[in-house]
């Protein structure tokens, strides 16, 4: 096989002469059927993958790029530092999300992004942070670190869950918790435990009214929603590249607000100390932060440039992002949400409203992640063994991949456990029908 | 089961089974019910009653893991990262190791339901664990469960039926079995030291057979069941205890204990520390029991947890009315010559002690080196007594047990009190019903890491089983609650919260801290004892379950 060289501004990428399925469909992906798009993904035949909330499935083309770039850069004498700025990739990914290259960092994962933000915030003893108990460990762990290090206080709220939850309830919960000492609101865009699509814009507006910094765990956002990150109004959004965006493991996207667009967030840019950086000046400091829609410096570079890095992961993530653009992010979002709604309906039919932890009645809070108690007895919701057995049996006996989650429920003394299914474009209605039917049967046996 | 007293030793660096390990001294062998055992009997109880987690013997006490729990009956030490602790930090899921068996006929597995029963038994009002308040303040609903137990079952003359009826009709809401192999324990707040609590002997499983006996009773002690490497073979209360190997124990289901020694024989006799040492040196005993002495001085850099030993307790609830006046307590505190007391202890027991000014001893969380003991001030003591209306003196009963340095300590402080007109009648305490006004007790840490609660909650919380004087203060209880809440803060804050408790009880002179005592480590032992390493959480006693004996020529 003779390799042809595809040159990008950032990095040379060798691709096989043989056109990939993606290449064959280039130009037609926008109108390709979902059946044919399913074929793009490196899924195990016969498997039903309903766990994108944990990790997505890479398209073959993404794997190819990762492989080829790794080979190209192995054992060479090329400058390995400059390409890891990922300028073009960041620009392309930024465009896909309505922001600029200086506001985007390709990180190693959402955890790294969130850790760099939380530890880089200019917090001091006595400052208060509000977060929820439904955050990823990475959020709570890093805020606890900052609490111990700087003496801040951390107020952890337990958000409501269940069929009838409304966006107003959630916003009200946060609003009641804000005090004069509050400096930061931290929350997920979509919670990984209950799949609640948090009212991000409303929470950011609440934060803006109180002059607060917003830190959003957006791990599940890219690849799921066709959204303009800037318009959400947050200061920081840390995302995964390997979940809904289906990039390689070890990729993330970090959005850092670097200019002021009053229509989105009129507050001054918050101070961020770019920890883990080889670009922060060795003498002196960075320029004052911008107060306008023109950046005063490229904070993305300061965060991006941090020694040697895997060039392949940036290229592969960019390839995944490019594919999403070609298929159409608006189209992808509709498909994912349609499948999510379909799964939700099937789950409600099988298990009933009371079993569901994910919001249903308020359409604004629905996501393609649905968490529910799959067992008849309500008390089995705090039986981790049963839900573990369920997920293990589904995987081992039926090649159906879901996940169990754990979380607090307001006014309940128990830790609740739920089965969680997530839909993506590599799923279809038949898979969902089969998965829910099998799941119900296995749950019944357990 | 006679053992030759003169043994010709064949040294063995290779583990070998057999022989009889002989312990001798005035220690306790009667608190064998796991639900109520504590301190010294804990090292025995763990031989036949295993916990979810336990501690390993340590060759090097400077090892940072020396005080860390390891899995025992649980497959893993529960944590967020092995799905044993929910993200809220308030729900523990404990998975039991398979093939751990009771020595019943026929043998049967230990189940999560046995642990549910064990936790319920801990709260029985007949004979409670001295550290029950650790659990009632931590496990969801356990406090109410115990209050109900108190109301339903008389403390005296309770029958086994009384106890079992309550236990079997009531649940601790925060302790429930998911199935035979899995137990959930829900706590009321994130509790960083909870895994240490799970290592306490009182957090043991209890077989259904125990329902037939009153907790702590002689009948129960004569019918103990074992899931560990040893079991009770012969028992004369207060005199002799022999443990033999448990045929139901399986090495592969116990990651910590071994089974080398064939028999463990404890002979209880009144003996001074010197007499015990002489027996060991003469080869007539292998280890001391109840009055340990060290083989050599420990390197002072080794961070061993000191004990508060002794401290003077005032029986404020049931003792002389004079003791309810803080001025009287302050007078007593002012006149005791702690330095002289330290000399007495060094002379009689060759122990490493230092004068105590605070309650939390060195090398325990929240210990404050800056609190120094006052020098004796008889003038101030007399003035305080006069102010309290006791210018003409008063009489107190000082209780003591015939153990270790206790008689000498009692005589020493009694002499100090008599200097200021307090007549002291020394009374040997042979049973719990004896009356006393003051008494010297000791308390050592139940675990050595994250142990802010172990001195202050046990000794001063209202209703605490180790709160011997019956002290009760809503203010102190609230300070303890705040300290438990603050335990998740960084160490400085957590320790500061415990120091608030300590300051308050010192100000109230609830007790008089007298001496801090270094643990006897490494303990004196006969030459034939091999592979003997201490377990910090058991007062640095050797782990009997892992040592072996040299062969004798006869063998």
Given CB atoms, is A125 within the 8 Å cutoff of chain B? no
A243 CA: distance to closest CA in chain B (Å): 21
Contact B355, B339 (CB under 8 A): yes
**With 50 as the cut, is the pLDDT of residue B169 above it?**
yes
Average pLDDT in the B360-373 region?
89
Nearest CA among A399, A421, A408 for reference residue A161: A408
What separation, in Å, do the N-terminal and C-terminal C-alpha atoms of chain A show? 52
Residue-level pLDDT at B363: 93
A443 CA: distance to closest CA in chain B (Å): 16
Q: How far apart are CA B455 and CA A78, in angstroms?
A: 64
In chain A, which among 395-424 make CB contacts under 8 A with chain B? 406-408, 413-415
Given CB atoms, is A140 within the 8 Å cutoff of chain B? yes
Nearest CA among B94, B65, B188, B213 for reference residue B136: B188
Backbone angles phi, psi at A58, to 5 degrees: -75, 140
Contact B543, B57 (CB under 8 A): yes
Mean pLDDT for chain B overall: 91
Residue-level pLDDT at B555: 52
Q: Global pTM? A: 0.90
Backbone angles phi, psi at B534, to 5 degrees: -80, 155
| Burial status of residue A24 (CB atoms within 10 A of its CB: 0-12, 13-18, 19 or more) | exposed
Using pLDDT thresholds of 50, 70 and 90, give the confidence band for residue B86: confident
- State how beta strands A153-157 and A128-132 pair: parallel
Cβ separation A408–B83 shorter than 8 A: no
Cβ separation B88–A140 shorter than 8 A: no
Task: Quote the distance between the C-alpha of residue A413 and its chain's center.
Answer: 29
Residue-level pLDDT at A25: 53
A308 CA: distance to closest CA in chain B (Å): 30
Using pLDDT thresholds of 50, 70 and 90, give the confidence band for residue A6: very low
- DSSP notation for A194-257: T--B--HHHHHHHHHHTT-EEEEE-TT-TTT----TGGGT-SEEEEESSSTT---TT-EEEEE-
Residue-level pLDDT at A81: 80
The interface predicted TM-score (ipTM) is 0.85
Average pLDDT in the A45-69 region?
95
Least confident of A363-372, B180-189, B205-214, B440-449: B440-449
Q: How crowded is residue A31: how many other Cβ atoms within 10 Å of its Cβ?
A: 10
- Which chain A residues contact residue B178 at CB under 8 A? 383-386
**With 70 as the cut, is the pLDDT of residue A163 above it?**
yes
Residue of B nearest to A132 (CA): B88
Q: How far apart are CA B324 and CA B473, in angstroms?
A: 13
Pseudo-torsion of CA A105, A109, A110, A111, nearest 10°?
-120
Using pLDDT thresholds of 50, 70 and 90, give the confidence band for residue A380: very high
Rounded percentage of chain B residues whose pLDDT exceeds 70: 96
- Which chain A residues contact residue B88 at CB under 8 A? 133, 407-408, 415
Nearest CA among A369, A390, A366 for reference residue A56: A369
Q: How far apart are CA B69 and CA B91, in angstroms?
A: 18
**With 70 as the cut, is the pLDDT of residue B4 above it?**
no
What are the pLDDT digits (tens) for B433-461? Answer: 689 999 999 999 999 989 999 999 999 99
Residue-level pLDDT at B430: 73
Q: Most distant CA pair in chain B: distance in Å?
A: 72
Provide the phi-psi class of B315: left if phi over 0, else alpha when psi is between -120 and 50, else beta.
beta
- Which chain A residues contact residue B172 at CB under 8 A? none
- Which chain B residues contact residue A382 at CB under 8 A? 91, 184
Given CB atoms, is B93 within the 8 Å cutoff of chain A? yes
Cβ separation B80–A137 shorter than 8 A: yes
What are the pLDDT digits (tens) for B40-80? Answer: 788 899 999 999 999 999 988 888 788 899 999 999 999 98
**With 80 as the cut, is the pLDDT of residue B39 above it?**
no
DSSP 3-state of A150:
helix
Q: Could you tell me the domains of chain B?
A: 12-278+521-549 (3.40.190.10), 307-517 (3.10.105.10)
Residue-level pLDDT at A72: 86
A54 CA: distance to closest CA in chain B (Å): 16
Using pLDDT thresholds of 50, 70 and 90, give the confidence band for residue A4: very low
Given CB atoms, is B90 within the 8 Å cutoff of chain A? yes
A82 compared with B545, residue with greater pLDDT: B545
Average pLDDT in the B120-145 region?
94
């Amino acid at each position: 096989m003779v390799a042809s060289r595809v040159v990008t501004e950032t990095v040379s990428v060798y691709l096989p002469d043989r056109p990939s399925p993606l290449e064959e469909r280039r130009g037609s992906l926008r109108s390709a059927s979902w059946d044919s798009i399913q074929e793009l993904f490196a899924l195990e035949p016969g498997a039903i993958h309903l766990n994108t909330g944990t990790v997505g499935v890479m398209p073959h083309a993404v794997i190819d790029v990762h492989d080829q770039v790794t080979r190209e850069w192995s054992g060479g004498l090329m400058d390995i530092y400059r390409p890891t700025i990922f300028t073009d990739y960041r620009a392309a990914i930024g465009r896909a999300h309505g922001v600029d290259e200086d506001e985007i960092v390709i990180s190693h994962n959402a955890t790294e992004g969130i850790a760099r933000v939380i530890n880089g915030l200019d917090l001091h003893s006595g400052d208060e942070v509000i977060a929820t108990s439904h955050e990823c460990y990475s959020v709570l762990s890093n805020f606890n670190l900052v609490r111990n290090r700087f003496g801040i206080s951390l107020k952890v709220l337990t958000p409501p869950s269940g069929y009838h939850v409304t966006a107003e309830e959630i916003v009200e919960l946060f609003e009641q918790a804000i005090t004069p000492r509050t400096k930061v609101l931290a929350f997920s865009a979509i919670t990984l435990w209950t799949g609640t699509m948090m009212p991000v814009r409303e929470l950011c507006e609440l934060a803006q009214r109180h002059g607060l910094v917003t830190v959003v765990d957006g791990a599940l956002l890219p690849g799921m929603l066709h959204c303009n990150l800037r318009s959400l109004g947050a200061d920081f959004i840390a995302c995964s590249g390997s979940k809904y965006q289906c990039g390689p493991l070890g990729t993330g996207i970090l959005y850092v607000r670097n200019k002021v667009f009053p229509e989105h967030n009129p507050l001054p840019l918050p101070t961020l100390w770019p920890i883990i950086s080889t670009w922060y000046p060795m003498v002196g400091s960075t320029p004052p932060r911008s107060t306008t829609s023109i950046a005063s410096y490229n904070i993305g570079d300061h965060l991006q440039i941090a020694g040697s890095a895997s060039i392949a992961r940036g290229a592969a993530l960019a390839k995944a992002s490019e594919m999403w653009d070609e298929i159409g992010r608006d189209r992808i979002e509709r498909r994912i949400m349609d499948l999510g709604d379909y799964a939700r309906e099937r789950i409600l039919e099988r298990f009933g409203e009371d079993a569901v932890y994910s919001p249903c009645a308020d359409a604004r809070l629905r996501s393609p992640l649905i968490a529910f108690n799959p067992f008849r007895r309500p008390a089995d919701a705090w039986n981790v063994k049963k839900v573990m057995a369920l997920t293990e049996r589904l995987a081992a006996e039926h090649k159906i991949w879901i996940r169990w989650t754990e979380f607090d429920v307001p006014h309940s003394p128990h830790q609740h456990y739920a089965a969680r299914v997530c839909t993506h474009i590599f799923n279809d209605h038949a898979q969902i029908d089969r998965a829910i039917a099998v799941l119900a049967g296995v749950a019944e046996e357990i | 089961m006679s053992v030759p007293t003169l043994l010709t030793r064949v040294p063995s660096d290779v583990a070998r089974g057999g022989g009889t390990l002989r312990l001798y001294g005035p220690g306790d062998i009667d608190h064998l019910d796991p639900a109520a055992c504590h301190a010294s009997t804990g090292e025995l109880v763990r031989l036949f009653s295993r916990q979810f987690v336990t501690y390993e013997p340590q060759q090097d006490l400077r090892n940072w893991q020396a005080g860390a729990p390891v899995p025992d009956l649980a497959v893993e030490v529960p944590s967020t990262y092995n799905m044993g602790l929910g993200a809220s930090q308030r729900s523990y899921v404990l998975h039991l190791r398979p093939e751990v068996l009771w020595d019943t006929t026929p043998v049967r597995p230990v189940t999560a339901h046995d642990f549910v029963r064990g936790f319920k038994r801990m709260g029985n009002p007949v004979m409670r664990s001295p550290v029950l308040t650790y659990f009632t303040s931590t496990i969801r609903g356990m406090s109410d469960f115990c209050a109900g137990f108190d109301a339903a079952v008389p403390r005296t003359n309770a029958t086994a039926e009384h106890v079992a009826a309550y236990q079997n009709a009531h649940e601790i809401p925060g302790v429930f079995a998911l199935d035979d192999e899995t137990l959930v324990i829900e706590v009321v707040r994130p509790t960083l030291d909870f895994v240490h609590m799970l290592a306490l002997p009182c957090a043991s499983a209890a077989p259904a057979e125990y329902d037939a006996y009153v907790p702590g009773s002689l009948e129960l002690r004569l019918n103990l069941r074992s899931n560990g490497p040893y079991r009770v073979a012969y028992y004369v209360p207060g005199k002799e205890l022999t443990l033999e190997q448990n045929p139901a124990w399986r090495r592969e289901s116990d990651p910590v204990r071994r089974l080398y020694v064939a028999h463990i024989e404890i002979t209880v006799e009144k003996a001074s520390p010197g007499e015990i040492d002489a027996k060991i040196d003469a080869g007539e005993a292998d280890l001391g029991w109840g009055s340990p002495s060290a083989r050599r001085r420990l390197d002072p850099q080794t961070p061993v947890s000191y004990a508060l030993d002794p401290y003077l307790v005032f029986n404020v609830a049931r003792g002389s009315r004079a003791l309810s006046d803080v001025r009287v307590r302050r007078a007593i505190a002012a006149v005791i010559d702690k330095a002289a007391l330290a000399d007495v202890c060094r002379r009689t027991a060759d122990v490493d002690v230092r004068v105590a000014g605070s309650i939390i001893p060195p090398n325990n969380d929240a210990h404050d080196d800056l609190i120094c003991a006052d020098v004796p001030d008889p003038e101030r003591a007399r003035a305080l007594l006069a102010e309290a209306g006791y210018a003409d003196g008063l009489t107190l009963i000082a209780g003591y047990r015939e153990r270790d340095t206790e008689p000498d300590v009692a005589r020493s402080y009694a002499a100090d009190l008599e200097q200021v007109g307090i007549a002291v009648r020394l009374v040997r305490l042979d049973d719990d019903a004896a009356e006393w006004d003051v008494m010297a007790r000791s308390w050592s840490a139940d675990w050595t890491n994250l142990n802010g609660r172990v001195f202050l909650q046990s000794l001063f919380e209202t209703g605490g089983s180790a709160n011997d004087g019956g002290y009760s203060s809503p203010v102190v209880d609230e300070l303890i609650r705040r300290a438990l809440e603050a335990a998740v803060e960084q160490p400085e804050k957590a320790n500061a919260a415990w120091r608030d408790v300590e300051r308050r009880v010192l100000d109230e002179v609830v007790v008089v801290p007298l001496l801090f005592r270094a643990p006897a480590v490494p303990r004196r032992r006969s030459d034939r004892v091999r592979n003997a390493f201490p377990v910090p959480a058991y007062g640095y006693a050797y782990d009997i379950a892992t040592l072996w004996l040299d062969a004798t020529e006869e063998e």
